[in-house]
Chains A and B, each alone.
Chain A
Amino acid sequence: NAGVMQNPRHLVRRRGQEARLRCSPMKGHSHVYWYRQLPEEGLKFMVYLQKENIIDESGMPKERFSAEFPKEGPSILRIQQVVRGDSAAYFCASSLGRLSYEQYFGPGTRLTVT
């Protein structure tokens, strides 16, 4: 039973480039969450999606960040015109349902902006 998959595991981008992070949820899970982890910090919620719908993006920066979870294929977190402050670990999680259900996390994508 494959867990949550994320790729790439490591991503290096120069300032101004675009970063695309992919997440495939666990089989049977239709709820996807993205979190960002800065060094020595806990995870911060960014966005919650269901298939073809953004349910809650209250944690997303207003500019340059977007997320999608299409009917087919993985969820994508897209960061346009990256800046050094975007360097972090980005984790995707999925769950079987909302609220009381535990979330299962992928291994993360470590984004480095040079």
Chain B
Amino acid sequence: AQSVAQPEDQVNVAEGNPLTVKCTYSVSGNPYLFWYVQYPNRGLQFLLKYITGDNLVKGSYGFEAEFNKSQTSFHLKKPSALVSDSALYFCAVRDIEWSGGGADGLTFGKGTHLIIQP
């Protein structure tokens, strides 16, 4: 079975500074990894994904994430934070080699509140 850990409930960053939202995962095989953002009372919006290839993945709104297999991590990053980036961020994983129950569903972390201070 797969799992995702987002070790920080909340991350505070000053506007204009770089931001990092951490994610580590556990799978028995190889992972597909995703980041989503959720604004209050809204659904999740897809930001980016890692499937294969280059470990640095670029996504929407200037976000990027780096896949690190040895550390089983997929941290979300942005060089310069905006106040409008304040939201709830979810990391999700799917185990490529798992074909049992839940194989097609995404396994989500509990989310990290990102607060960008003006």
A interface, CB within 8 angstroms of B:
4, 6, 31, 33, 35, 40-46, 48, 55-56, 58-59, 91, 93, 98-100, 102-108
Contacts and interface: CB of A to CB of B under 8 A. Distances in A.
Interface of B: 4, 32, 34, 36, 41-46, 49, 51, 90, 94, 96, 100-111
B105 A35 contact: yes
13 contacts: A33-B106, A35-B105, A40-B110, A43-B90, A43-B106, A44-B108, A45-B106, A55-B104, A59-B105, A99-B32, A102-B49, A107-B41, A107-B42
Contacts, number: 67
B46 A56 contact: no
B105 A42 contact: no
A48 B110 CA distance: 21
Contact of B43 (A42, A99, A107): A107
Contacts of A4: 43
Nearest first, the 8 closest Cβ-Cβ pairs linking A and B are A45-B105, A58-B101, A42-B108, A105-B43, A105-B44, A48-B104, A107-B43, A43-B108
